[in-house]
Amino acid sequence: MDNVLLKELKDNFHGDIETDDKTLMMYSHDASLFEVKPDIVVFPKDIDDIKFLVSFVGKHKKKYPELSLTGRAAGTDMGGGSINQSILVAFGKYFNHTPTLNGNTATTEPGVFYRDFEKETLKKGLIFPSYPASRELCAMGGIVNNNSGGERSLDYGKTEKYVRSVDVVLSDSTTCTIEPQNLEGLKKKMAQNNFEGEIYRGMHKLITDNYDEIMKAKPDVSKNSAGYYLWNVYNKQKNIFDLTKLWVGAQGTLGLMTKATIGLVPTKKYAEMMVIFLHDISHLGKIINEVLPLKPDTFEAYDDNTLKLALRFFPGFAQHLGTKGFISTGIAFLPEFWLVLKGGLPKMVLQIDFQSDSQEELDKKILHLQEKLAPLHPQTRIEHNKKQERKYWLIRRESFNLLRSKFHNKHTAPFVDDFAVKPEYLSEVLPKINALFKQYPSLIYTIAGHVGDGNFHIIPLMKIEDEKQRKIIPELGKKVYDLILKYHGTITAEHNDGIIRTPYLEKMYGKDIVELFRQTKQIFDPQGIFNPGKKVGGTMEFAMSHIRTSWDT
């Protein structure tokens, strides 16, 4: 950054400013396979700091077009959404105050870790049910801006369903609260003689002028994080115009969030889990058809490669399970070792979790499912033991971290990590996905996900510093996404577009809808201040030129 600009920034900014190489390298990475080094990392102390940053960039943008602001909470994004050039705005240091609960809602700042947020809500017997698998590591800013979902989204939906309002700093450096508007409220917003009024007028015109095309573009899946969710903004049946539905999942490209008010749900008293060891994946469709009408809270799956990892590194689960030592952990995994001895690993493990305030209701559901599945002769376990249940959740949740930490000569490369199709297509799609990956025998990979939503995560291991391996990324990515779009799915159900998927949005939606995405960005951010290259304007050339080649930093 120019020394004159840096001095102006330091003279007017009250938070911390870091330009040392160690900090810049730390913030060059998230959980993705990319490395993008910022010029500077700033830690705002308050809203005035954020307003100044936006004003500062806006003031100098014409002379220094490379200036931009990219918000970051915990930096766990798997698509490169929280890294960028220019100024990186880190919320974790100061925007992390204890959430405020009011009835069945909680108001939180973006830097609050989800694990700390949940501690407060559980004190009131409430929970935010759309937490992601990275629940111990992620923060609320990322959850809102990525429209996170997870294991409980099957029953409860994604983050977009729970955000009641968002306080933001817009690109003219003013603040506003975005919340649902009825028609009277919308008219008042559109009548405002300020930038917020311009946004409402511009978005209302864009959506109403293109309403039919926008509604046709909505992906035919239960979960989607690709593009801007224009189809969710205007509910004609209820006469509600709700820009929170656009803001959630926009990856900080429309402004910077300072806090959000989020809806909560009561926790339930009882839980039962059925685990199915599936040796014949052709049965998957039938099982899905029997499970979904029973409305499980979660319906998860992971493949044999994931289970192999768990068995190979099972002592590492001891700390998580609360057991001590090799022997007690081995006992916890004894049923899985026995599976191997009896006849090999299953092709897929399904775990179906029912929760209720009535134990009798749970027992009926489990019995009904056992009877319906009996003709398929599945190998099943009913888990009543909380420690055994936790073991299966750990296998499901920790597979990515196992891949990251246990293979020192190869590295996780999440580049097709989050597709979704209708669940009834899975028995066709998953074998075809495996067939595509088998064309690249150098890849080790796991498949795990939310089978009830048709949402799976594929995590390959690659020797990423090898140029031949890197060339696989766009080649295999295109093949996988061609397959997913053939089944009318989405290229990202939870992890969002970021650096890796923004270049594929035109393939998914077509030129006309992507042009509406560009106009949306222009309405909110005419100078291109916020998180450039995400949602709009990202290229595969940029992605491929910023692949991380070293894990030493």
Distance of CA 404 to the CA centre of its chain: 18
pLDDT at 385: 65
Question: Could you say which of 200, 234, 266 is where a domain stops?
Answer: 266
310 shares its domain with 236 = no
Residue type for position 175: T
In a domain, 477, yes or no: no
In a domain, 191, yes or no: yes
In a domain, 232, yes or no: yes
In a domain, 506, yes or no: no
Burial degree of 544 (CB within 10 A; 0-12, 13-18, 19+): middle
127 shares its domain with 223 = yes
Domain count, the chain: 3
8 shares its domain with 84 = yes
20 shares its domain with 151 = no
In a domain, 439, yes or no: no
Q: Which two tokens stand for residue 549?
A: 């080649």
pLDDT at 61: 97
CATH of the domain at 541: 3.30.43.10
367 shares its domain with 291 = yes
260 shares its domain with 280 = no
110 shares its domain with 203 = yes
223 shares its domain with 345 = no
pLDDT at 419: 97
In a domain, 500, yes or no: no
Q: Provide the whole-model pTM.
A: 0.93
Distance of CA 387 to the CA centre of its chain: 27
In a domain, 29, yes or no: yes
pLDDT at 306: 80
Cα–Cα distances (Å) from 198 to 70, 209, 336, 438, 525, in that order, read: 23, 16, 60, 52, 11
Question: Could you say which of 382, 406, 430 is where a domain stops?
Answer: 406
112 shares its domain with 200 = yes
75 shares its domain with 86 = yes
**For residue range 218-259, what is the model confidence (pLDDT) as tens digits?**
999 999 999 999 999 999 999 999 999 999 999 999 999 999
Enclosing domain of residue 209: 100-266
pLDDT at 439: 96
In a domain, 445, yes or no: no
Q: In what order do the strands lie in the sheet with 163-169?
A: 100-102, 105-108, 256-263, 163-169, 175-178
128 shares its domain with 235 = yes
CATH of the domain at 145: 3.30.465.10
DSSP output for 157-178: --GGGTEEEEEEE-TTS-EEEE
CATH of the domain at 392: 3.30.70.2190
343 shares its domain with 368 = yes
pLDDT at 392: 74
Residues of the chain with pLDDT under 70: 313-343, 385-388, 397-408, 551-553
- DSSP E strands: which ranges in 256-311? 256-263, 265-266, 270-278, 298-303
**For residue range 33-48, what is the model confidence (pLDDT) as tens digits?**
999 999 999 999 999 9
pLDDT at 446: 87
Question: Could you say which of 356, 372, 406 is where a domain stops?
Answer: 406
